[in-house]
Amino acid sequence: MAEVVRSSESWARSVPSENVQGLAQEMGDTCMEIPERYVRLELDVGVTAICDDDDDDDDEGGSDDKVPIIDMKRLLDPNFSLEESAKLHSACMDWGFFQVVNHGVSDEVIEEIKVDLEEFFKLPLKEKKAFAPLPGGLQGYGHKLVLNEEKLEWQDMMFLITQPPHARNFTFWPTSPPTFRSTLDKYSTEIKSVSRCLFDAIAKNLGLNPEVLCGIFKDHQRMRMNYYPPCPKANQVLGINPHTDAGGLTLLLQVRDVQGLQIKRKGKWLPVEPLDKALVVNIGDALEILTNGKYASVEHRVMVNKKKERLSIAAYHSPSFDHIIGPLPELKQGSCEEYYKTMKYDKYLEFHFIAKVKGKNHMDYMKLNK
């Protein structure tokens, strides 16, 4: 099947760079200097810049220090759904991030995707490069850069269209390990079911017909598999630059218990401590726009560890390129002011990527009455 990625996504072109995994192996624990294109000297002053996973750090913190936890089983249980729905509504408004437990993705599938991801990234570089993107393309294995050619991210990744099934281009789907394709198919399908349940619950919390959000986001799912090698000078690099996600909901599974994800909370970077087998979920820009700012798309970044590698897989659920996004009419009734522009999603993506290149806030452009 031909690659179903519009040319409008060419704003996120690949930028030639070293394989970071190989670079990290070459550096090892030596005093070898990090290539200048990766160095972020401004991180030297960041207290939260280094992720050490110290065992003696047992600060339980208050409720404002921990990302909210949503129990999907309770959310779907008529006896507890009101209480859990209220927690979900609060998490979407006040945090833009939450963790989902008892989500229904089987332990077997979770373990299989974790193992297959680890096995893939262990392959020799030559084998992985067999699934590299086409020039100007997005799908495949490599090192993608969205911001600029000066500062690179300390990570390698695999990006694939996973839903709907007919949009998949198996040219870029690894054949090693042999179970990779079937495992990703199962994981993608089960994650899609979780996202539909969340969109349904979110719609109800907003007073919308349950099918409204599911209709907007439908089957459009893309997955990004991330590999962050250790770095002896972790306070000088970033795994992923500070950003917000463009779509509706992102569901992330952490493969190992190595921290790295941080969210911007009240002006400070707050580490996210993923629960075992939980999914970390965040609101994307499209959902913030559709809800007229009621729900927040929150800035986040990824730090790297000094000694340990980190792996994760993120599933992005977005509107179709030609879908019109703007504040939903149902949420603009009465005297409610409209805060965002309305435009096709692919046009919004253009501003999303161009603003990143220019180092500007793309959501500022989307807002009215500034």
Question: What does the pLDDT read at residue 343?
Answer: 93
| 362 against 94, higher pLDDT | 94
Q: Which residue has the higher pLDDT, 151 or 203?
A: 203
Write down the pTM of the prediction.
0.89
| CB distance 187 to 105 below 8 Å | yes
With cut-offs at 50, 70 and 90, classify the pLDDT of residue 25. Answer: confident
pLDDT, tens digit, for every residue of 219-228?
899 999 999 9
Q: Per-domain residue ranges for the chain? A: 12-55+64-366
Mean pLDDT of 12-33: 72
pLDDT tens-place string over residues 192-240: 999 999 999 999 999 999 889 999 998 899 999 999 999 988 989 999 9
Mean per-residue pLDDT of the chain: 86
Which band of pLDDT confidence, cut at 50, 70 and 90, is reported for residue 356? low
Average pLDDT over residues 118-145: 89
Side-by-side strand order, sheet with 140-142: 69-71, 97-101, 279-283, 249-254, 310-317, 221-228, 156-163, 140-142
Terminal Cα-to-Cα distance of the chain (whole angstroms): 44
Instruction: Decide if 317 contacts 248 (C-beta within 8 A).
Output: yes
Tokens describing residue 323: 């879908």
Structure tokens at 18: 């070293």
Q: Is the dihedral of CA 282, 236, 14, 30 positive or negative?
A: negative
Q: How confident is the model at residue 365 (pLDDT cuts 50, 70, 90)?
A: confident
In the predicted structure, residue 11 carries a pLDDT above the cut 50 = no
Q: How does residue 99 score in pLDDT terms, banded at 50, 70 and 90?
A: very high
- Band (pLDDT 50/70/90 cuts) for residue 167 is very high
CATH architecture of 12-55+64-366: Sandwich (2.60)
Instruction: Report which residue type is found at 121.
Output: F
Give me the pLDDT at residue 43, please. 64
Which tokens go with 254? 């952490």
Q: What is the pLDDT of residue 351?
A: 81
Are 96 and 297 spatial neighbours (Cβ–Cβ below 8 Å)? yes
- What SS3 state is found at 360? coil
Average pLDDT over residues 262-281: 94
Contact between 347 and 245 (Cβ < 8 Å): no
Percent of the chain with pLDDT over 70: 84
d(CA 182, CA 152): 32
